[in-house]
Amino acid sequence: MIPSVNDSGSRTIGLLAYLYGPGKAEEHTDPHLVASFDGMSPDPGRDPNATLKDLQQLLDQPVMALARHSRPAKHVWHTSVRADPRDRVLSDEEWAGIARRIVAATGIDPGGGQPGCRWAAIRHADDHIHIVATLVTEDGHRPDDYRSGTRAQAEARLIEKELGLHQVAPGDGTAAQRPTRAERHKAMRQGRERTAREELRETVRLAVAGTTGEAEFFDRLADAGLLIRTRAAPSGDLLGYKVALSDDRNAQGEPVFYPGARLAPDLSLPRIRERWTGDAPHQDGGQNPRLQDDDRTGPGAPATARRKAASASWQAVLVVESGPDAVAAAHIAAAGEVLDALATTSAAHTRRELRDAATAFERASRSHIRAVRGHDRALRQAARDLVHGGPALGYGEDGATTAMAIDMLFFLITAAAHWHAKKGHAQQAAAARQAAAHLRSAYRAAAPAPLATLAQRGRRLPLPQERHHAAQLREALPELAEQILTEPGWHALAATLADAQRAGHDPTALLARAARRRELGTADSVSDVLVWRLRRTANLPLETPEPATNATQNSPPTPRPSPRRAARTAPSDSRTTRS
């Protein structure tokens, strides 16, 4: 149940006319009164002898009793209280009780002999009511409605429990501002799926992902087609910015601008600058030192960026799970940038789910724990690499590394959900879980093609070599080996073990290390998870050269040291620190 409070009105009759009218799209049905301050207020919806003017005059009477100079300029308090779509349809009597509790909790009509305001609750749909009040009490004073929105939310949580309704995660004041009713109706009239505010929020969020300074940020906003206005101090220092869609105009035909802070708390210019202060200066004059120009223009640039994003995401899991809160919060915020960048540069068959994941995770990227920037440099650099690496194809090495990056990001976003849940951040935890669900769907779209390629190669392995890799699996993971050997992904894992051994790695040591880093028992497919962990750790491309001859394939494997010795002598990989 979601109360939405707005106390900025000045015309009671105008609001009543809307609530009792047909609505912007004829969506209002059977408007009628369900409760009022005295239980006897006229109902223009069902009483043919009552008019809107009658109800308005009754509600405004305490206001009009004041001297003209003492009347508040904006005296109309209004809130809608909406049930969750999964809830049952409530009766008028239940809605009346809800209305009385909301006005009492918010201080509009506290009861208990205290003077209250006049109010009325109108219902014109199954799933919500509107409460209209005038902000002058019966004794001529202003009501104690400080933080009425927060108080209404707290009361709604109690109502949900008592009536057995769906329990909405409580807010903490860090969410982005919701579109207003006027913005939603405007979007409907213009045939937009989203409001201008929502489109601008996503565009600015995508533009800031991986940027390193103001010039690059504003260039990206301009490239996205936004209109930009900046605000500067007399000294010339930039203080802020606001943006508008070129085709979103007001009644005077002027663009409707939104300051960054009104789009989301972390999109104000000062908050964006905090990301840049933690970035290390580049020695090449601003160019990305990890993804050089030849990498960007070469055919492997998107795949290289995705490998680095996968590694940075995997390392961030450990930080989120065991690092200081402020550092973990920074990594969670930077994970949102990686999601944005990956969604922007991915192929069509994964782009929608990835964008939905990024949009959902936006809510999880902020909490009351303030992020300390700088420690998240690797993730922010990964986002930059993805943007500068350019669009990826949906197949070949691009497709394989996309699946790898999604797989690693899934673990990072899941870790963020657990972190928020432990901190009591209910809305953020729910948003992270929603993002993880979209990532799971994106993975299911991205993974089949590269896994099928690997499985085909695995099925071509000579039987002695396949048995040899099965023995390595049993040695490294005795508890899970038999399950993995029956999974459809076993042949892809066998091909990966063959590639690792051909590249000079000890497959048994790699398997043991991959299993130590994170539990595997809850994975949908343990073999798939191991494929991506091993290929990331050993830096294995999807296509590797086949052995020169069958004789080489069938030759006995090179003797290996014992597992304990192998673990000590295997090539070090600082990216596989055990969690």
CATH classification number, 2-163, choose in 3.30.930, 2.30.30, 1.10.530, 3.80.10: 3.30.930
Q: Which helix (H) or strand (E) holds 121?
A: strand 119-125
pLDDT (tens digit per residue) in 459-483: 999 999 999 999 999 999 999 999 9
The per-residue pLDDT for 119 is 97
Provide the angle, in degrees to the nearest 10, between the axes of the packed helices 325-345 and 196-208. 100
Strand partners, 4: 80
109 SS3 class: coil
345-359, 503-517, 535-549 — most confident range: 345-359
Q: What is the mean pLDDT of residues 488-505?
A: 95
Lowest mean pLDDT among 68-82, 215-229, 512-526: 512-526
pLDDT of residue 569: 38
Contacts of residue 499, defined as CB under 8 A and 6 or more positions apart, other chains included, come to 535, 538, 540, 544
The mean pLDDT value for 241-270 works out to 93
Q: Among residues of the chain, what percentage have pLDDT more than 90?
A: 73
Contact of 461 with 547, CB cutoff 8 Å:
no
- Position 230 scores a pLDDT of 95
Alpha-carbon distance of 309 to 386, in angstroms, equals 8
pLDDT score recorded for residue 546: 58
Contact 348, 395 (CB under 8 A): no
Q: What pLDDT is recorded for position 567?
A: 36
Task: Look at residue 240 and tell me whether its pLDDT is greater than 70.
Answer: yes
What is the rounded distance in angstroms from the CA atom of residue 63 to the CA atom of residue 430? 43
pTM of structure: 0.75
Cα torsion 449, 450, 456, 458: sign: negative
Distance between CA atoms of residues 241 and 218, nearest Å: 9
What's the confidence (pLDDT) of residue 282? 44
- Yes or no: say if 76 and 12 are a contact pair by the CB < 8 Å rule: yes
Which residue is associated with the tokens 């086949």?
546
- Collect all residues with Cβ–Cβ distance below 8 Å to 106 and sequence separation of at least 6: 5, 79, 145, 148, 151, 152, 155
Are 334 and 146 within 8 A, CB to CB?
A: no
User: Measured in whole angstroms, how far is the alpha carbon of residue 263 from the centre of its chain?
Assistant: 14
**How confident is the model at residue 575, as a pLDDT?**
36
Of all residues in the chain, what percent carry a pLDDT higher than 70? Answer: 88
Determine how β-strand 227-232 pairs with β-strand 258-259.
unpaired
Alpha-carbon gap, residue 93 to 96, rounded angstroms: 5
Residue pLDDT, tens place only, 158-192: 999 999 999 887 767 788 888 877 788 888 888 88
Tell me what the mean pLDDT of segment 243-271 comes to. Answer: 93
Tokens, residue 97: 């009780």
Residue 544 or 416, more confident? 416
Q: Quick check: 522 pLDDT over 80?
A: no
| Cα 519 from Cα 528, distance rounded (Å) | 14
DSSP 274: H
Q: Using an 8 Å Cβ cutoff, are 307 and 353 in contact?
A: no
